[in-house]
Structure 1
Amino acid sequence: MSISNSKETTQRMAALHQKFAKIYGHQPEGIWRAPGRVNLIGEHTDYNMGFVLPFAIDKNALVAVRRKTQLDADRQTLDFASTYGSGEHPPITSITFDELVPRAVPGWAAYPAAVLWALNQLEGVELGGIQLLVDSDVPVGSGLSSSHALEVATIVALDDLYELGLSKVQMAQLTQRAENEFVGAPTGIMDQSASLMSHAQHALFLDCRSMETQAVPLPLAQHDAVVLVMDTRVEHSHVDGGYAARRASCEQAAAALEVQSLREVTVVAELEAIEDPVAKRRAMHIVTENRRVLDTVFALREGDLDAVGKLLYQSHESMRDDYEISSEELDVAVEAAMAAGAIGARMTGGGFGGSAIALIKREHIDKVSQAVREAFDQAGYVEPAIFTVIADEGAGKA
């Protein structure tokens, strides 16, 4: 049962039905949802074949979809529209299958288009024209995986409508290919896996090499604790060069150590064989972060939130100093939360902006939130968006 299957989501669905009919002149065949995610710990380890521990959140992308029929004059055209900031008459992006060319589709429409492109690469799959309308409450550019939520909602919808019979692992791999090759962002497989495979009140322990998963209970309620998201409002993008540069450094480090991926390195001393100091620092983060993920899983199963909190902060220090993907705003959010009594805090997501998270006692929500806002005000930053999130169920029919 999805926690986000709430009165608010029901209202969003009803509005989406009405909007779809107004835009396209037909009712959709259905509405599908896919959540954004918070990565509790395990950053940039996914494309290094390592371990990650994200969870789906109670903010999601809804997509309403209708397959075109022989009665549609433009039955082979793909139509995309969004409720996001579009007023009463949102523009429709219409493209043909011939125009499904990597990096050629502009704006947000590139994400559902990428999924159609990836599915079209499968042998025996023939998709026709569709009409799609998206409504998402996952903050854009916040590091909570708004783009992957849209991609996952799209692939889940098309898998259902065309009865493709894809497994969740296959859908994760296809959306990764869509992101890497069509959109041009060299991301790993964590975000779409979290959106597809998560379970309510649990984190998803994912081995990115084997794709094996385990649901790890989040004992937050038992400890009267919550996860607080601090969105710096500094938008980040995986298409920008910083992400690709980090991935290249990891590949350089793996080559220097003559291993397939940094997942194979478990002893920090082995990194001394890397001559390039930057590559060595990047590798240091990956090796120690993999260890922190395993330790966090153990601590959660033991119900030891204090240990989890220490690991979260150690992860942030590693991302700030070794991987160098934090920002001044993220550092201010983390330090302010810690000073106000957070159990632990770290930046989350790809970095270079986006959000930080804090593990806090419920009674400290107002105190920590106010401390972060005051720290941002004193530093002259834009006021952050601060909210709690709940571990939700993975994608499916809404």
Structure 2
Amino acid sequence: MAAEQPIPVYTNLSDLYGSLGTSLNHAEKWNSVAEEFQRRFGRTPAYIARAPGRVNLIGEHIDYCLFGVLPAAIERDILIAIGRRPNALAEDAPGSVVAENMQKKYTRQVFAPAPRRRASVSEDEIRLEEWQLDINTKELRWESYVKAGYYGVLINYFSGGGNPAPVDILVTGTVPAGSGLSSSAAMVVGSTLAFLAINGKLDGNFTGNGPKISKSQLVEMAVANEKRVGVNSGGMDQAASVISVPSSALYISFFPELSASAVPLPPGAVFIIANSLVVSDKAVTAKRNYNLRVVETLVAARVLARHLELKVGNTERITLREVVGRLAGEVEEVGEMPVEWLLETLKRMEREIEHLKPPNSDISSEAQLGVTMEEMIAMSGLTAEEFQDVYLSWVEVEATHFQLYKRAKHVFSEASRVLQYRRVCLAAESSPSSSPMDVLKELGQLMDESQTSCNELFECSCPELNQLTQISKDAGAIGSRLTGAGWGGCTVSLVAEDNVDSFIEKVSATYGPYKGLQGEALDEVIFATKPSSGACVYKFD
């Protein structure tokens, strides 16, 4: 299984470049990073860690509900060069870091983890230590994501003794921040990998403290790490960045455990990413957007489970996927239920969600379907204290009405669309005689339906994304939708291979914020991409 494979560690550049795709000049970029590290720090780096961004083809905001999604890694990535500091001073703190960024707007940062006494049984017994790194979640800076990745390495590999190496690092990247292409997850994955590598935790003969890392373990570590910057991620971004393979989307399932399988994309399909140029910082706006949606879907799951008379513990945060599984009699030990069975159960859930509408209401339209905090607590069957502890003690949210019905309706319909998209791709691979354009039209329709649901039910689109998807359709896109968390960022459009140049030209001429952009500046905001391989490390001699 792809998720259980080790992280690739390359020592040959030809092998490395061959795994990354061909539409970008990867050799020039990697050489540039190594040369700049040499210029700034006076030596060649020991490693360069790579983590790609990702585009989610379909399956938005359902990963943290434990439903499967279909992303693909893109060729644009984060690179982190790292080297052990050879002349560390005696007064340097253990594991101190000098961090620089090739983008001039980011300044040099110097920080070090602080060992913190955790507990002791007696004065004669060994005191266990954990580590602390200050991360300001209110005002995120670029180094916060570096620190987040580092912290995961510290607590997993240095909690039982020993000190991490003092290092210098140099960061660069081509994944635009706040674009919905998961630059934050790529930064955290890349940072985690860099600190693992420099401390000898990726070596094939590693037998020291902490787990021998696999791709799935790196995903789990990166998810936990990103939470330290205030984002409750479901794991799709990290899994796509780590586990993806070239020429395919990645069907990622989170229930009963993380698994991933390649889904070959049909010939003739090209995906064009267009940046709305509206920056979406989901950590800063999380209490009104991302984290609020997490809470709404979790509460919706409990209310549905209660209506369906499913057993749920008072302290359990049951997800919508787990509700579906328990309703269908799914046995976790056996694995995920067959696709057709899951699709049928999802259809039933789209009827059951009527019970998530406001109680005692005569509302005939969907204009206002939210419930107040008091109504939501009553619907959950918990006391106010229990509700606070289970759903609000670990996350900050801000809302007057909570949209349980609309969020659940999106999640169940989007989960169905992911399974249909996957089925169309697999059927096309097994039936070479099928009409390529008919296949692309099926996929495009599912993408269009997803955009409508994201906009109207999950309310994670914005005027600029809506405009950009419509412009893309008018320019010849077979399907177009937002990708990423939304509230800004990018769209992804399915375009026939022979229409790529014409499509980019029409969108560039029509979307207002692109006016006046040419050459490299335009290439940064609208570009075609090939599905890329996942995260890796290059080791210098």
Would you call these one fold, judging by a TM-score over 0.5?
yes
Amino acid at match of 1:390: K
In 1: Cα distance, 2:234 partner to 2:175 partner:
20
Q: Secondary structure at the match of 2:82?
A: strand
Task: Specify the alignment match of 2:226 in structure 1.
Answer: 179
Distance 2:23 2:160 in 1: 38
Check if 1:269 corresponds to 2:351.
yes
Counterparts in 2 of 1:382 and 1:324: CA distance versus 1, 3 Å: farther
Alpha-carbon shift at residue 175 of structure 1 (Å): 1.1
Counterpart of 2:197? 160
CA shift in 2, pair 1:113/1:254, >3 Å:
same
Q: Are the structure 2 counterparts of residues 6 and 313 from structure 1 closer, same or farther at C-alpha, using a change threshold of 3 Å?
A: closer
Q: Deviations over 1:134-165 (max 9, x none)?
A: 11011121111111112112222233333332
| Deviation of the 1:115 alpha carbon | 1.0
8 Å contact kept, 1:102–1:184: no
Alignment of 1:113-152 (within 5 A): 113-122=147-156, 123-124=159-160, 126-152=163-189
**TM-score scaled by length of structure 2:** 0.68
Asked whether the 8 Å contact 1:47–1:247 carries over to 2, the reply is yes
Cα deviation, residue 392, structure 1: 0.6
CA shift, 1:106, in A, is 4.8
Whether the 8 Å contact between 2:471 and 2:511 is mirrored in structure 1 is no
Counterpart CA distance in 1 for 2:249 and 2:21 is: 16
1:321 aligns with 2:456: yes
Q: Are 1:61 and 2:63 counterparts?
A: no
Please state whether the residue corresponding to 1:254 is helix, strand or coil.
helix
**Matched residue type, 1:198:** S
What TM-score does the superposition give when structure 1 sets the normalisation length? 0.92
Count of residues in Structure 1 that have an aligned counterpart in Structure 2? 390
Counterpart for residue 84 of structure 1 = 103
Structure 2 stretches lacking a partner, 5+ long: 1-17, 115-131, 202-211, 306-311, 313-317, 325-345, 359-368, 370-402, 429-438
Residue 4 of structure 1 and its aligned partner are, at CA, apart by 4.2
1:33–1:397 contact (8 Å) kept in structure 2: yes
CA contact (8 A) 1:329 1:376 kept: no
Q: Deviations over 1:152-197 (max 9, x none)?
A: 12222233333332111111111111111x2111222011110100
Return closer, same or farther for 1:393/1:283 CA change in 2, 3 Å cut-off: same
C-alpha contact (below 8 Å) 1:46/1:208 kept by paired residues: yes
Structure 2 match to 1:10? 27
Are 1:75 and 1:128, in contact at CA under 8 Å, matched by a contact in 2? no
Partner residue in 2 for 1:308: 443
How does 1:70-81 map onto structure 2 within 5 Å? 71-73=88-90, 74=92, 76=94, 77-81=96-100
Cα distance per residue 1:50-78 (max 9 Å; x no partner): 11110011111111011235744536311
CA displacement, residues 357-385 of structure 1 (integer Å, 9 cap, x when unaligned)? 110112222332233234423x9989772
Q: Deviations over 1:2-51 (max 9, x none)?
A: 23478722222222122212222332102121111100111111111111
The structure that has the greater radius of gyration is 2
The one-letter amino acid of 1:45's match is: I
2:153/2:196 contact within 8 Å kept: no
Which residue, out of 469, 472, 478, partners 1:334? 469
Cα deviation for residue 308 of structure 1 reads 0.9
CA distance in structure 2 between the partners assigned to 1:4 and 1:135 by the alignment: 19
Q: 1:287 to 1:249 in 2, by over 3 A?
A: same
How far off its partner does 1:237 sit?
Answer: 1.1
Which shifted more, 56-65 or 276-285? 276-285
Contact residue 57 and residue 391 of structure 1 kept, 8 A: yes
Q: Deviations over 1:333-371 (max 9, x none)?
A: 111111222111110000000000110112222332233
* Cα drift, residue 389 of structure 1: 0.7
Give, in angstroms, the shift of residue 133 of structure 1. Answer: 0.5
Distance 1:97 1:287, change over 3 A: same
Within 2, Cα distance between the matches of 1:236 and 1:94? 27
User: Deviations along 1:257-301, whole A, 9 cap, x unmatched?
Assistant: 136111133221121221343210011111111111111000111
Residue matched to 1:97: 113
Q: Distance in 1 between matches of 2:110 and 2:23?
A: 32
Q: Specify whether residues 124 and 10 from structure 1 end up closer, same or farther in structure 2 by C-alpha distance, changes over 3 A only.
A: farther
Distance 2:134 2:69 in 1: 32
What whole-Å deviation, never above 9, does each CA across 1:68-126 have from its counterpart, x for those lacking one?
A: 3574453631121110135xxx7320111026034368511001100111222225475
Alignment CA distance shift 1:106-1:317 (3 Å): closer
DSSP-derived class of the 2:79 partner: strand
Task: Percent identity, please.
Answer: 30
**Secondary structure of 2:511 counterpart:** helix
1: CA distance between counterparts of 2:282 and 2:24?
33
CA RMSD of aligned residues (A): 2.2
Structure 2 counterpart of 1:301, which letter?
L
Once residues 81 and 22 of structure 2 are traced to their aligned partners in structure 1, the CA distance between those partners, rounded to angstroms, is: 16
| Whole-Å separation in 1 of the counterparts to 2:461 and 2:516 | 17
Mapped to 2, the partners of 1:191 and 1:372 lie a distance apart of 27
Task: Mark the runs of 5 or more structure 1 residues left unpaired by the alignment.
Answer: none
Q: Which amino acid aligns with 1:57?
A: I
Runs of 4+ in 1 over 3 A off after TM superposition: 4-7, 68-73, 123-126, 379-384
Q: Which moved more, 1:346-355 or 1:142-151?
A: 142-151
